[in-house]
Amino acid sequence: MSAYLPNIVFAILFFSLIGLFTLNVRRIIRNINLGKAAHRSDQSKKRWLHMANIALGQSKMVRKPLSGLLHVIVYVGFVVINIELLEIIIDGFLGTHRIFAPVLGSAYNVLIFIFEVFALLVLVSVFFFWTRRNIMRVKRFWKPEMKGWAKWDADIILYAEVVLMTLFLTMNAADYWLQTFAQNPHYVQAGSFPVSKYLLPIFDGFSTQTVIAIERTTWWLHIGGILLFLNYLYYSKHLHIILAFPNTYFANLEPQGKLPNMPAVTKEVKLMLDSNADPYATPPADETPSTFGASDVTDLNWVQLMNAYSCTECGRCTSECPANQTGKQLSPRKIMMDTRDRLTEVGKLLNKGNQINQNTLLDNYISREELWACTSCNACVEACPIAIDPLSIIMDMRRYLVMEQSAAPSELNVMMTNVENNGAPWPFNQQDRLAWREELNT
């Protein structure tokens, strides 16, 4: 029975943490589904290409060449190295060691070689990212919203990647030492170790049992760390590792600058312009929206809520925002972070079986001053590396202020009154404008 104890412990650890991850994923899906319907199933071919280009190909990341290239290295390295995770899981359940080695033969050596090279490149890239964030203090990482947990989260991820890569290389170094110097049939000759072989001096003077203990300890910490990291994603901005793919697939493919009309309002206007329409007709109840625009997360659509969970907090949107550059309160990144924070608050209430409280996204999280500072230029949408659309949330909340609360700024109210009365945003009627035109022609 004792021979199978490590396998049993591994199975308990694996299924417990995978179960917790599954529970958290289901909660995220539930929270996203609190949003209203949005039709994003059209143009499937174009959507697949869009996802492949942006999420898989990282096309927007490399617009900033150095940081983009290093991000690609970390991204590819993390994916490639975790291919070994499959072997580790099988070894954990069966009690084997490097079970793929006899099956893959020389190809296994190539794989381990690639894994180790990427592990080293990831460590170099992470050091660069940490330096930019904490020593060089790149401006977009030190905006007001990047305090407290937002800053800690970014650093924790970098430290976690260093720990995981170090454990991986130490595990391989101990394994290589045991393959070379120990007479233990469990540690068969397998793999090529271009990086970890330089760690062998740290085992000088160690007994075989000590090195086995180091190899086993780092093996357990490595697989345990990966499973813990998987569950940490639920609380982290790095949830985009998973959500970047559906987020780019369901992105808005309409030309930037084309703002969607509300179907109910569009139909109402068409009826007003239709001379044959019954002016006293009452629209069906199911065609009348419960609210115009959005004041809380449940008024947004599910794609916007998925955008909030997908936000990487990189700040490229805010660094490109002309309103933010001129000192206005608006930060598109903060809009997404606030939306996610409010959605998280609502989710916690639902987890406890409580009703949604009286807080709202508008005013309790996002101020009106932020909303009206937006120039609707789409710079934030263009800058986002995973096709998030902060502008759509801003515009929906503006609609609520105008159509539900009549709370537009005075300048906008004057302009809308002029459009209604004069057919133009200026305080001149049509005859005055025509006279002005004639005066110019003389």
Instruction: List the one residue out of 227, 103, 206 whose CA is nearest residue 164.
Output: 227
CA distances, 379 to each of 30, 240, 321 (Å): 31, 21, 6
Give the domain 263-408 fold: Fumarate Reductase Iron-sulfur Protein; Chain B, domain 2 (1.10.1060)
Q: Quick one: pLDDT at residue 282?
A: 63
Domain limits, the chain: 2-32+64-249, 263-408
Cα 388 to Cα 304: distance, rounded to the nearest angstrom: 8
b or e along 405-421 (b: 16 or more beta carbons within 10 Å of the residue's beta carbon)?
Answer: eeebeeeeeebeebeee
**Burial (0-12, 13-18, 19+ Cβ within 10 Å), 246:** middle
Q: Quick one: pLDDT at residue 67?
A: 80
Q: Quick one: pLDDT at residue 285?
A: 57
User: What are the φ and ψ backbone dihedral angles of 356, each rounded to 5 degrees?
Assistant: -65, 135
Q: Quick one: pLDDT at residue 63?
A: 83
Q: Which residue has the tokens 């060691």?
A: 97
Ranges under pLDDT 70 in the chain: 1-3, 275, 277-289, 430-433, 436, 442
Question: How many C-beta atoms lie closer than 10 Å to residue 435's C-beta?
Answer: 12
Question: How many C-beta atoms lie closer than 10 Å to residue 154's C-beta?
Answer: 21
Q: C-alpha 340: how far from its chain's center?
A: 11
Q: Quick one: pLDDT at residue 277?
A: 65
b or e along 207-237 (b: 16 or more beta carbons within 10 Å of the residue's beta carbon)?
Answer: eeeebbebbeebbbbbbebbbbbbbbbbebb
The model scores a pTM over 0.85: yes
Q: Quick one: pLDDT at residue 433?
A: 65
